[in-house]
A and B are shown apart, each in its own frame.
Chain A
Amino acid sequence: MADLIGLNKVKPGQTATVVSIKGRSSINKRIADMGVIPGTAIKVNRVAPLGDPIEIIIRGYHLSLRKKEAANIIVELDVK
């Protein structure tokens, strides 16, 4: 099994699959509502000019989140 990392560590252009969402708070609920749930494929599209937040593509749409929130999303990098 490949290494599990936080979504914040994924580089722009890389794709990954969500494994779990850590912590518990209303933020995670929100993230799940937006379709970020275990098993979903994610592509990190780009990083904002000032380095935070990041933009991801999920379920065919573009979503942005701060690195702090992204760190709670544990993903498995897709092997090429």
Chain B
Amino acid sequence: MKKITVAIAGNPNSGKTTVFNALTGMRHHVGNYPGVTVEKKEGACKHEDYEITFVDLPGTYSLTAYSIEEIVARNFIVDEHPDVVVDIVDSSNLERNLYLAVQLMEMNVPLVLAFNMSDLAKSKGMSFDIEQLSQLLEAAIVPMTANKKEGINELLQAVVKTAEAPKKQRTHTIQYGKEIEEELEKIQNTLDSEHDLVTKYGSRWLALKLLEHDKEIWEKGHNKEVLHAVKNSTEHLKIVFDDDPQIMIADRRYGFISGACQESVKHTVETRHDWSDKIDTVMINRVLGIPIFVILMYLLFQLTFFLGQWPMEWMERFFGWLSVNVAALWPAGSESALKSLIVDGIIGGVGGVIVFLPNILLLFLAIAFLEDSGYMARAAFIMDRIMHKIGLHGKSFMPMLIGLGCSVPAIMATRILENRRNRLTTIMIIPLVSCGARLPIYMLIIPAFFANTVLLKFGFLKITMHAFMLWIIYMIGILLAIICARILRSTVFQGETTPFVMELPPYRMPTLKGVVIHMWDRGWMYLKKAGTIILAISIILWAAASYPKVDPKNLEGLSESQIQTEKLRNSIIGGIGHAIEPIIKPIGFDYKIGTALIGALAAKEVFVAQLGIVYSLGESEGTSKALRKKLKADYSPLQGFCIMLFCLISAPCMATIAMTKRETGSWGWAIFQLLGLTTLAYVVTFFAYRIGLLMSV
């Protein structure tokens, strides 16, 4: 059996994923390209005598060094020498899609063009002279409609044929016109001294990229002579054209495409219904756009949490059942360390994070739906004005919004941001958006200290103290996120704001399969995280909460809940809680709160459970009522408020930190986030407490 490697390139939204899935079925593997967090999908299929491996390149419009995606796609082709490159072209939007094809031609790769979306092209009244286009572009062309699986077999045949054809130099190269060609030649002549680069990239391509001022190629370190030639040529061309050579090069490429299309694309019917645009007259209407957006986002959350509550309950019951049954493997009352490790450490720790899986999967599902339908781009379009003000990008909005649910998927969602500085800033501030796991803390504290008086009343609409407090906490989080984003963007992540040049793709009805695959790929990543880092941290936190052991003699005569308290007090976590008391005293906390805070590193809502243990309350109904009473006896409302404030801002949970590490590719950023937020929490809470005391609240 012969092996063929195929790279799949294409514009975003051209149907790349659909084609890839149709080719490989569900048998694919998702990972990252080495060194960067750009998703790499690989899959395989058998066709006749061939085993064909497909690698899905990131979706790009061009192959310059504009974004990591473009560099990754380009380098894969140069370094891995795929046998064939398949460019998925949205044939209903041919000109812009062929821009990428032209650049692939210039890289001299064996090319197959998949003219996808044939159905749409047809309904737009377009028809193609495939044979002629194929000759002009020197590539096999396969018309297809991927979502109906039409043309998949033909595509495979074309791939095999192209792979088997003898490699030859292209005869049609894009001609850039006399002036540019002359300068290209001058630059090429100086390149003899850069033998290695020339063998790798080819001298014409290299000269072209240099003239385009391609950052990555430019930084490869060139001889003085070469740089000099490029500089001269650039200046000369600028005078000739009164425009940047870069723009002239793009101009000539589009010129080539127009030429090819003129001869072989016919528009038979002129009238066309732009349904998508009609939908947009409502969806991004100047008046209705924002209300619709707010309602959609509200529904997104309402639905995920409403539908998520049942599976979440099942998961909780399952883990409860699992720990009871696993514990039963030991004789009753056993003090086995292994039992405790498995039941309390592993099942308790990992289970505590995994119960959120249904919610997270539903959130991913909703997001995949918004993405595949095309609304996500509209959301960015609507929000860009506000996001731009704080130094971010319209697309940063979505991750921040997801952060209201859970920071972990929110951090994963920052992948849609092209600019690294933008992305890092967004990742750093996401934990400030109060996530769902912090809600139980507020739910415990607010009723403990504040009576639910009615503050304002408009007819049947009431604003009560509890709702108001909750609102204040969320607002503080968002406000801090905005301030931090601004500060980060003007210090650590300083630099040009990303331009907002974004396609608004036509609306499409998402397919169930497409949406489910999207959801599953991300859900799987989350699970893998739970399986590795979260497991490790769970075990560490378990050990810290159970060692050193208390001498059993000291526990005699104590009730079960008092024993728990004694054990925790004696443990490393309890020790840390005590040790940090002097540090947290200035912000109004004692060792009990300190102990619970350390426990909350596992997951924010653990704070409540830990506090229950500190106060010797068994896990029974009405725990929170009893706990509230105790809290009220021990602390002032100001301290209560400070607890919420600190929980809101301080160190995110371990799953978040693990995800930050993964998505930024370095522990450095994860630790920066951990320490930065904790310091911020300390400072803010300190001032809140001190000012509160002065004003004797």
Please, what's the 1-or-0 string for B375-394, where 1 marks a CB less than 8 Å from any CB in chain A? 00100011011101000001
Known A35-B99, A51-B385, A64-B381: A30·B499 in contact at CB below 8 Å:
yes
Please give me the residue from chain B that is nearest to A69 by CB atom. Answer: B499
Alpha-carbon distance A33/B215, docked complex (angstroms): 15
Which chain A residues in 1-57 approach chain B with CB under 8 Å?
Answer: 20-21, 24-35, 37-40, 45-53, 55
Instruction: Tell me whether B299 is interfacial, beta carbon within 8 Å.
Output: no
Partner of A69, one of B287, B385, B501: B501
CB-CB < 8 A to A60: which residues of B? Answer: 93, 95
Known A48-B381, A64-B381: A37·B247 in contact at CB below 8 Å:
yes
In contact, B381 and A28 (Cβ under 8 angstroms): no
With both chains docked as a complex, state the minimum distance between the C-beta of B106 and any C-beta of chain A, in angstroms. 14
Alpha-carbon distance A76/B570, docked complex (angstroms): 78
In contact, B503 and A49 (Cβ under 8 angstroms): no
Please, what's the 1-or-0 string for A48-80, where 1 marks a CB less than 8 Å from any CB in chain B? 111111010001111111100100000000000
In contact, A38 and B243 (Cβ under 8 angstroms): yes
Instruction: Tell me whether B309 is interfacial, beta carbon within 8 Å.
Output: no
Alpha-carbon distance A49/B246, docked complex (angstroms): 33
With both chains docked as a complex, state the minimum distance between the C-beta of A56 and any C-beta of chain B, in angstroms. 10
CB-CB < 8 A to A55: which residues of B? Answer: 280, 284, 381, 504
Known A49-B285, A49-B286: A21·B247 in contact at CB below 8 Å:
yes
Partner of A37, one of B212, B251, B281, B284: B251
CB-CB < 8 A to A31: which residues of B? Answer: 499, 501
In contact, B384 and A66 (Cβ under 8 angstroms): yes
Please, what's the 1-or-0 string for B276-294, where 1 marks a CB less than 8 Å from any CB in chain A? 1100110011110110000
CB-CB < 8 A to B505: which residues of A? Answer: 62
Which among B58-66, B107-115, B581-589 touches the partner chain?
B58-66
Known A26-B66, A62-B503: A49·B251 in contact at CB below 8 Å:
no
In contact, B502 and A49 (Cβ under 8 angstroms): no
CB-CB < 8 A to B506: which residues of A? Answer: 62
Please, what's the 1-or-0 string for B420-452, where 1 marks a CB less than 8 Å from any CB in chain A? 000000000000000000000000000000000
CB-CB < 8 A to A65: which residues of B? Answer: 499-502
CB-CB < 8 A to B246: which residues of A? Answer: 24, 28-29, 32
Q: Which of A51, A61, A63, A66 has the most CB of B within 10 A?
A: A61
In contact, A64 and B64 (Cβ under 8 angstroms): no
CB-CB < 8 A to B386: which residues of A? Answer: 50
Partner of B290, one of A21, A49, A53: A49
In contact, B64 and A66 (Cβ under 8 angstroms): no
With both chains docked as a complex, state the minimum distance between the C-beta of A54 and any C-beta of chain B, in angstroms. 9
Known A33-B99, A64-B500: A21·B243 in contact at CB below 8 Å:
yes
With both chains docked as a complex, state the minimum distance between the C-beta of A2 and any C-beta of chain B, in angstroms. 19
Alpha-carbon distance A24/B241, docked complex (angstroms): 14
Q: Which of A33, A53, A60, A63 has the most CB of B within 10 A?
A: A33
Alpha-carbon distance A50/B387, docked complex (angstroms): 11
In contact, A30 and B66 (Cβ under 8 angstroms): yes
CB-CB < 8 A to A29: which residues of B? Answer: 64, 66, 212-213, 244, 246-247, 250
CB-CB < 8 A to B93: which residues of A? Answer: 59-61
CB-CB < 8 A to A35: which residues of B? Answer: 95-96, 99, 254
Partner of B244, one of A28, A49, A64: A28
In contact, A32 and B499 (Cβ under 8 angstroms): no
CB-CB < 8 A to B219: which residues of A? Answer: none
Q: Which of B66, B96, B382 has the most CB of A within 10 A?
A: B96
Alpha-carbon distance A61/B92, docked complex (angstroms): 10
In contact, B247 and A28 (Cβ under 8 angstroms): yes
Partner of B251, one of A28, A38, A59, A69: A38
Assign chain B's interface to a size class. Answer: 35 or more
Which chain B residues in 86-101 approach chain A with CB under 8 Å?
Answer: 93, 95-96, 99
In contact, A66 and B388 (Cβ under 8 angstroms): yes
Known A29-B64, A33-B62, A61-B93: A48·B284 in contact at CB below 8 Å:
yes
Please give me the residue from chain A that is nearest to B289 by CB atom. Answer: A49
Alpha-carbon distance A51/B64, docked complex (angstroms): 31
In contact, B284 and A49 (Cβ under 8 angstroms): yes
Instruction: Tell me whether B242 is interfacial, beta carbon within 8 Å.
Output: yes
CB-CB < 8 A to A64: which residues of B? Answer: 377, 381, 500-504
Partner of A33, one of B64, B213, B276: B64
In contact, B251 and A32 (Cβ under 8 angstroms): yes
In contact, A34 and B501 (Cβ under 8 angstroms): yes
CB-CB < 8 A to B504: which residues of A? Answer: 55, 62-64
With both chains docked as a complex, state the minimum distance between the C-beta of A26 and any C-beta of chain B, in angstroms. 6
Please give me the residue from chain A that is nearest to B124 by CB atom. Answer: A60
Please give me the residue from chain A that is nearest to B234 by CB atom. Answer: A24
In contact, B212 and A48 (Cβ under 8 angstroms): no
Alpha-carbon distance A33/B212, docked complex (angstroms): 11
Alpha-carbon distance A53/B96, docked complex (angstroms): 21
With both chains docked as a complex, state the minimum distance between the C-beta of A9 and any C-beta of chain B, in angstroms. 18
Please give me the residue from chain A that is nearest to B285 by CB atom. Answer: A49
Please give me the residue from chain A that is nearest to B215 by CB atom. Answer: A26
CB-CB < 8 A to A46: which residues of B? Answer: 280-281, 284, 286
Which chain B residues in 361-414 approach chain A with CB under 8 Å?
Answer: 377, 381-382, 384-386, 388, 394
CB-CB < 8 A to A20: which residues of B? Answer: 242-243
Alpha-carbon distance A46/B289, docked complex (angstroms): 12
Please give me the residue from chain B that is nearest to A55 by CB atom. Answer: B504
Known A45-B277, A63-B501, A66-B500: A52·B96 in contact at CB below 8 Å:
no
Which chain B residues in 244-294 approach chain A with CB under 8 Å?
Answer: 244, 246-247, 250-251, 254, 276-277, 280-281, 284-287, 289-290
CB-CB < 8 A to B66: which residues of A? Answer: 26, 29-30, 33
CB-CB < 8 A to A62: which residues of B? Answer: 276-277, 503-506
Please give me the residue from chain A that is nearest to B67 by CB atom. Answer: A30
CB-CB < 8 A to B502: which residues of A? Answer: 63-65
Alpha-carbon distance A46/B99, docked complex (angstroms): 26
In contact, B254 and A50 (Cβ under 8 angstroms): no
In contact, B212 and A52 (Cβ under 8 angstroms): no
CB-CB < 8 A to B289: which residues of A? Answer: 48-49
CB-CB < 8 A to B290: which residues of A? Answer: 49-50
In contact, B244 and A34 (Cβ under 8 angstroms): no
CB-CB < 8 A to A39: which residues of B? Answer: 251
Q: What are 13 A-B pairs at a CB distance below 8 A?
A: A20-B242, A21-B247, A26-B215, A32-B247, A35-B254, A45-B277, A50-B290, A50-B386, A52-B384, A52-B388, A62-B503, A63-B502, A64-B381
Q: Which 7 A-B pairs have the closest CB atoms?
A: A32-B250, A50-B385, A49-B289, A62-B504, A33-B62, A27-B499, A37-B251
- Give me the interface of A with B, judged by CB distance under 8 Å: 20-21, 24-35, 37-40, 45-53, 55, 59-66, 69
What 13 new A-B contacts, CB under 8 Å, besides A33-B66, A52-B385? A24-B244, A29-B212, A33-B62, A45-B277, A46-B280, A46-B286, A48-B382, A49-B382, A61-B96, A62-B506, A63-B502, A64-B381, A69-B501
